[in-house]
Structure 1
Amino acid sequence: PGASSGQMLDAVERLMAEKYQPQGLGFAYGGQSFQERNSSGDSGLVFALGLILVFLVLAAQYESWAIPFAVLLGIPFGILGAFLGVWLRGMSSDIYFQVGLITVVGLAAKNAILIVEFATALRDRGLSIADAAMEAARERFRPILMTSFAFILGVLPLAIASGAGAASRRSLGTGVFFGMLTATTVGVLFIPLFFTLIRRFVERGEPRPPVAAEVE
């Protein structure tokens, strides 16, 4: 009680390695335990494919290969917060935490898209890159806080759950709670900076329109 399935499987493996395998005994997983151990190696690949898919969708939307990075660079803040949360609570990154991690990626990207989309529109209207980024962050800050903290408070009961099956709910809730908290309070502050740097880099490489010579 109070431990995740991943921690239980790790304890079984340590017990077998220390006590029974020297005696020539072996073991094999079955059922849900087999599925969890078998899928643990594929989670990184699935996660990478998900990021690539998000990048391709954003590249098609913005018609640029560079601007989507302003969105994707905000995702690591949420991931770092999720891992920090389970580490502080002494939990493992089991399958339930990985599901929550995918949720954090989607919601962190959503927050960044709100700023980047509005900043792009303001830039197209003629504002400078820095002014467009700051104005977008200012205009979208309250909607981001309202939607994000509504979700954060919504998963709080999962993070502090108790009773039968509480370990899986705590693992899922802790990852999402701390991940979204970090992505909202820290990541949102850096999105305008990322947009400014990347947009300047993109526009520096674009050909400038020719200047008409003045004829006297």
Structure 2
Amino acid sequence: DILKNTDGAIDIKSSLDNSEVEQRVSVNKDEAMKYGLTVAQVYQQISEKLKSETTSTTITSNSNDLAVVIKNNASETTIKDLKLLEIKGTKNNKDAKVKLNKIATITNATTPASINHKNQTRYMTVSASVDEDHNIGLISRDIQSKIDDYNTPNGYEVELTGENETINSTMKDLVLMILLAIVFIYLIMVAQFQSLLSPFIVMFTIPLAFTGGLLGLLVTRQILSVTSMLGFLILAGIVVNNGIVFVDYVNQLRLDGVDKRTALLETGRARIRPILMTAMTTILAMSTMALGVGMGSELSQGLSIVTIGGLLYATLLTLFIVPILYDIFHRREMKKIIIDDED
């Protein structure tokens, strides 16, 4: 009922839909004990009666072992025959027989075609598909909120699994991968710049890129999917290139004796062309993927849109944000260290 009342959920199925009608034998323990019988003993005798085949022996023919199977007419046993089945037991320390209908009741009942277990616990599955006009993430969030408000009977629990569970697990792994990639990028730049401050300034381009990627998804009305998350992972490695080129050139000019403000302005003029060229080559290369033309293109469309949006946004703001941050954090003058070999 929860799924039926959720917009976007279609093809709702339950593992109980394929239920079957069976004859259920319920043994009265008290009556059975009068004949010295347990429930297991009663069922064992019923099973022997209903067994249609019995392997009696094995014969050898031409060096091959063949089983000799005795078949009976158990398949012709009716409910009436089953009720009148005589169960062997004891009464007053003597062998006795009692008809099954005296110690048990036989009723019709609906039962699942199969009983599923997970970690020794029975479970049933209710599944649904998502139509083309809805997002599986949003629908899953809606269903989860309804499940949280649903009061389950004692001993029961409801959990949301399937594709939504896989997506959430993959998303968490991707977030960890992105964080790890950012740490590695920072450490590599520390080794390059021989400083902790310059890489920190370059790292500010990553939030700009992520903001641009989200804006790209918003403008194109694309969902935040697993492939689009891969786009953010790619952005983390690409977008820092512009900041590295800018900061490195500023440091070179300042080491040559140029004052900080002049070095920033000169770097903006000298490095704007290579920065724009490197960004545009990537953007143009991924533009065909962003158009989503061809079969299966929707799988890579989110990745390309995030990459293009992040590069556009970060490239334009890098020319403004990075110089401002550099001016704020770099207060000391930079000087060359000259080592005289004679000394």
- The secondary structure found in structure 1 opposite 2:197 is coil
The CA RMSD measured in Å over matched residues stands at: 2.8
> What CA deviation, in whole Å up to 9, does each residue of 1:120-139 have, x standing for no partner?
11111111111112212211
Residues 72-83 of structure 1: pairs in structure 2 closer than 5 A: 72-83=203-214
Compute the displacement of 1:167 (Å): 2.3
Report the Cα distance in structure 2 between the residues aligned to 1:66 and 1:40, rounded to whole angstroms: 31
1:131 pairs with 2:262: yes
Distance 1:11 1:135, change over 3 A: same
Question: Between the two proteins, what is the percent identity of the paired residues?
Answer: 23
Report the Cα distance in structure 2 between the residues aligned to 1:62 and 1:22, rounded to whole angstroms: 57
- Contact 2:225-2:302 at 8 Å conserved across structures: yes
Distance 1:27 1:93, change over 3 A: closer
Report the Cα distance in structure 2 between the residues aligned to 1:102 and 1:55, rounded to whole angstroms: 14
- Which structure has the larger Rg over C-alpha atoms? 2
- Contact 2:242-2:275 at 8 Å conserved across structures: yes
143-152 vs 9-18, greater mean Cα deviation = 9-18
- Contact 1:3-1:167 at 8 Å conserved across structures: no
Equivalent pairs, count: 198
Compute the displacement of 1:112 (Å): 0.6
For structure 2, list consecutive stretches of 5 or more residues without a partner in the other structure: 1-130, 153-157, 335-343
Residues 79-118 of structure 1: pairs in structure 2 closer than 5 A: 79-118=210-249
- Contact 1:2-1:166 at 8 Å conserved across structures: no
> What CA deviation, in whole Å up to 9, does each residue of 1:47-89 have, x standing for no partner?
2222122111111221111111121112211110101111222
For structure 1, list consecutive stretches of 5 or more residues without a partner in the other structure: 207-216
Bigger RCO of structures 1 and 2 (CA < 8 A, at least 6 apart): 1
Report the Cα distance in structure 1 between the residues aligned to 2:307 and 2:133, rounded to whole angstroms: 18
Report the Cα distance in structure 2 between the residues aligned to 1:8 and 1:189, rounded to whole angstroms: 39
Compute the displacement of 1:168 (Å): 1.9
Compute the displacement of 1:18 (Å): 5.6
> What CA deviation, in whole Å up to 9, does each residue of 1:95-150 have, x standing for no partner?
11111112222221001101111111111111111111221221111011112112
- 1:29 is matched with which residue? 162
Residues 35-184 of structure 1: pairs in structure 2 closer than 5 A: 35-184=166-315
Report the Cα distance in structure 1 between the residues aligned to 2:255 and 2:225, rounded to whole angstroms: 45
Distance 1:16 1:119, change over 3 A: closer
TM-score by length of 1: 0.79
- The secondary structure found in structure 2 opposite 1:28 is coil
Residues 176-195 of structure 1: pairs in structure 2 closer than 5 A: 176-195=307-326
Report the Cα distance in structure 2 between the residues aligned to 1:13 and 1:73, rounded to whole angstroms: 32
1:8 to 116, 136, 144: 136
- Contact 2:228-2:303 at 8 Å conserved across structures: yes
- Contact 2:174-2:230 at 8 Å conserved across structures: no
Report the Cα distance in structure 2 between the residues aligned to 1:110 and 1:121, rounded to whole angstroms: 17
- The secondary structure found in structure 1 opposite 2:172 is coil
Distance 1:98 1:124, change over 3 A: same
Compute the displacement of 1:12 (Å): 5.3
Distance 1:163 1:15, change over 3 A: farther
- 1:214 is matched with which residue? none
